[in-house]
């Protein structure tokens, strides 16, 4: 059928429109393709070049700088030093054994350290960097960097490691850090990704452990470009994270050094020096001590065995962990309890050398007895019978009530490891602990700081500081965090009759400053520096009736571990106390003869802010004092007189 001219014209118009639409679409597509080609060739050329070279971008954690720790005068006691190390990423290395063999041809790798690293590598995800070796020289690091193309997955790195510049002086206070272990990961509830970094250091003991969260800081990260050979091409971006908080302790570095040096002249001892006005712990010594730097990278088996097999227990912080019978240093608590119960300070007790309860004798340390004694004389001469009599009159519950207000039986919240609460027993305690009733003999033993009573040198220092000040002061070890001062707690009255406190202090003064006082040999001859104190000698063995009949064996004739503990507590100056101290010499023998001189030396150094003048000692002792001072191993700054650091 022949189409009309009209139909032909309409059909032509439709074809033209379709051609225009199709042509427009084609032109648009060509335009888009052209724009995309330009974008890929010009604007994204670098990105596609990376892809062409099989480069990739990695994210890696950056460990923040650990917070520093300073003494009260701003002297660093825990700092960070640069640590050059060589790290491997397993997924980048390919054949790990081959790559490590190449590395060993370039630098020396300790076999034991390498074996530990390989075990660590198998436990970690393949993308987690594992340290093969650290504490390397700059020459070693440069060698690895130059040979990076032949060492895929291995790269040099620099970080920070902990260092303790004062070594053993602060080992029991600051503690130490060490690599994160599986035990640590199972023990602590912390999802911080930093803990997954092999050999990342965390606090293990002491302040390092108790303030771990503050000191650790927050992780940073960096984006790096790595090529197909594993070589780091460039760093694309970095977030350094947040460094840890800096801590300032209340401890004085020079005094701490002197205390440790003085304690080291004994076999095993502890001392605490405290400011009775603020509660600041100025020195906390425990001897023997150890070098915490050995623990930072992981201590060797030989070094660790040397510490653990030492019978004097250098790893134990005896100043806060040790719990000892306080002996006669406890008598101030009984005296104060008697006064608070209404017993006059002039009331006397007769001491024939023993007290008899039933068919048992409780002996005084002085076999022939002291005769009639009142409160002051009982402290001055440390008469046991007086306290036996007081204990029977007032009962153990009253004694325990007073003693607890002075810190006995309290576990103080200071950032140190394994702080003991000691034991301050009473009738209920014995029923709960042993299911037995309290006996009169238990009260007599407790009255002279024996039996169930146990206290740490820290608790004895707190007791002495509270006696000196009359306030319920609490011990403080951290002075500030990032410059913000921590609170002083307990600078309010204990609530005891001030006259009763004065009577007890007067008795302590008589101990060291009257000729019949048990501590007269440790008096201070310098005006304005007189001390008040109390000696203690606590038994660690039973003395049988047969031994008493033939004569008690002297400490010097006994094995070390069966000798009495020697204790001494003191504060000074008597009129305006600025320092309180407690000393325990394990199995040292007599409190006045062994612990007393140590306590006096420590207090004198603290009061003078440096080595005290020889004139502060009694004239007949000065030759021996010079000999003692010559034996001390002190840092130069601690050996010379210094400023007042109270």
Residue 420: closest CA among 283, 326, 337 = 326
Instruction: Look at residue 11 and tell me whether its pLDDT is greater than 70.
Output: no
Q: Do domains 57-247 and 253-291+313-639 have the same CATH topology?
A: no
Q: Which residue has the higher pLDDT, 305 or 546?
A: 305
Domain 57-247 sits in CATH at 3.90.1310.10
Are 112 and 119 contacting, i.e. CB atoms less than 8 angstroms apart? no
pLDDT value at position 644? Answer: 39
Q: What does the alpha-carbon distance between residue 584 and residue 569 come to, in Å, rounded to a whole number? A: 9
Question: What is the per-residue pLDDT across 41-88, written as a single tens digit (0 to 9) for each?
Answer: 666 666 555 555 455 666 667 778 899 999 999 999 999 998 888 888
CA 76 to chain centre: 15
For the chain, what are the domain ranges?
A: 57-247, 253-291+313-639
Tokens of residue 32, six digits: 């888009």
Question: What is the per-residue pLDDT across 263-283, written as a single tens digit (0 to 9) for each?
Answer: 999 999 999 999 999 999 999
Domain 253-291+313-639 sits in CATH at 3.40.710.10
Average pLDDT, the chain: 88
Are 74 and 248 contacting, i.e. CB atoms less than 8 angstroms apart? yes
Q: Is 108 helix (H, G, I), strand (E, B) or coil?
A: coil
Q: Given the DSSP bridges, would you call strands 247-249 and 69-70 parallel, antiparallel or unpaired?
A: parallel
User: Which stretch of 181-195, 345-359, 374-388, 498-512 has the lowest confidence by average pLDDT?
Assistant: 181-195
Other Cβ atoms less than 10 A from the Cβ of 640: the count is 11
Question: What is the per-residue pLDDT across 103-143, written as a single tens digit (0 to 9) for each?
Answer: 989 998 888 888 888 887 887 777 777 888 887 888 888 99
619 an active-site residue? no
20-52: b (≥16 Cβ within 10 Å) or e: eeeeeeeeeeeeeeeeeeeeeeeeeeeeeeeee
Q: Is 356 helix (H, G, I), strand (E, B) or coil?
A: strand
Choice among 245, 268, 328, 378 that is catalytic: 328
Q: How confident is the model at residue 646 (pLDDT cuts 50, 70, 90)?
A: very low
For every residue of 183-206, DSSP letters joined together read HHHHHS----GGGGSTT-EEE-SH
Tokens of residue 11, six digits: 């059909």
Instruction: Look at residue 14 and tell me whether its pLDDT is greater than 50.
Output: yes
């Amino acid at each position: 059928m022949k189409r009309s001219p009209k139909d032909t014209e309409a059909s032509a118009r439709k074809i033209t429109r379709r051609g225009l639409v199709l042509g427009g679409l084609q032109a648009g597509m060509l335009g888009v393709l052209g724009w995309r080609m330009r974008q890929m060739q010009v604007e994204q050329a670098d990105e596609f070049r990376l892809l062409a070279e099989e480069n990739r971008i990695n994210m890696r954690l950056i460990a923040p700088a650990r917070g520093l720790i300073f003494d009260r005068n701003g002297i660093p006691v825990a700092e960070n030093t640069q640590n050059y190390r060589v790290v491997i990423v397993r997924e980048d290395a390919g054949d790990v054994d081959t790559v490590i063999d190449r590395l060993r041809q370039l630098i020396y790798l300790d076999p034991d350290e390498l074996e530990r690293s390989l075990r660590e590598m198998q436990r970690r995800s393949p993308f987690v960097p594992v340290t093969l070796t650290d504490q390397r020289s700059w020459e070693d690091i440069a060698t690895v960097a130059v040979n990076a193309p032949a060492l895929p997955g291995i790269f040099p790195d620099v970080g920070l490691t902990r260092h303790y510049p004062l070594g053993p002086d602060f080992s029991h206070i600051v503690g130490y850090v060490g690599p994160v272990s599986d035990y640590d990961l199972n023990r602590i509830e912390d999802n911080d990704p930093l803990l997954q970094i092999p050999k990342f250091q965390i606090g293990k003991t002491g302040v390092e452990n108790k303030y771990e969260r503050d000191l650790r800081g927050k992780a940073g990260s960096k984006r790096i470009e790595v090529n197909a050979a594993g070589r780091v091409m460039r760093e694309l971006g970095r977030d350094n994270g947040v460094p840890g908080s800096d801590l300032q302790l209340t401890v004085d570095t020079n005094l701490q050094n002197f205390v440790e040096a003085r304690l080291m002249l004994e076999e095993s001892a502890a001392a605490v020096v405290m400011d009775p006005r603020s509660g600041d712990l100025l020195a906390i010594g425990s001897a023997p001590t150890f070098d915490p730097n050995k623990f930072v990278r992981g201590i060797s088996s030989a070094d660790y065995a040397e510490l653990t097999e030492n019978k004097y227990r250098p790893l134990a912080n005896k100043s806060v962990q040790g719990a000892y019978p306080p002996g006669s240093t406890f008598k101030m608590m009984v005296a104060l309890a008697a006064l608070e119960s209404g017993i006059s300070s002039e009331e006397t007790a007769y001491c024939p050398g023993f007290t008899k309860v039933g068919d048992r004798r409780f002996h005084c340390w002085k076999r022939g007895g002291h005769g009639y004694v009142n409160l002051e004389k009982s402290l001055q001469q440390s008469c046991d019978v007086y306290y036996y009599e007081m204990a029977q009159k007032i009962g153990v519950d009253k004694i325990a009530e007073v003693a607890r207000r002075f810190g006995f039986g309290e576990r103080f919240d200071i950032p140190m490891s394994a702080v003991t609460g000691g034991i301050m027993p009473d009738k209920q305690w014995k029923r709960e602990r042993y299911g037995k009733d309290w006996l009169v003999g238990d009260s007599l033993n407790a009255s002279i700081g024996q039996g169930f009573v146990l206290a740490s040198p820290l608790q004895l220092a707190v007791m002495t500081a509270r006696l000196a000040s009359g306030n319920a002061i609490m011990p403080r070890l951290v002075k500030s965090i990032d410059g913000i001062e921590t609170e002083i707690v307990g600078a309010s009255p204990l609530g005891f009759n001030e006259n009763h406190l004065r009577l007890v202090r007067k008795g302590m003064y008589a101990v060291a400053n009257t000729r019949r006082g048990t501590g007269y040999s440790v008096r201070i001859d310098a005006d304005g520096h007189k001390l008040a104190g109390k000696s203690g000698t606590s038994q660690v063995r039973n003395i049988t009736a047969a031994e008493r009949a033939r004569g008690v064996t002297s400490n010097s004739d006994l094995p070390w571990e069966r000798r009495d503990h020697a204790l001494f507590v003191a504060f000074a100056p008597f009129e305006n106390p600025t320092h309180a101290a407690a000393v325990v010499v394990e199995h040292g023998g007599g409190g006045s003869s062994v612990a007393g001189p140590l306590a006096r030396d420590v207090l004198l150094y603290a009061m003078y802010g440096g080595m005290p003048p020889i004139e502060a000692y009694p004239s007949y002792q000065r030759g021996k004092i010079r000999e003692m001072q010559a034996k001390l191993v002190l840092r130069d700054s601690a050996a010379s007189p210094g400023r007042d650091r109270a």
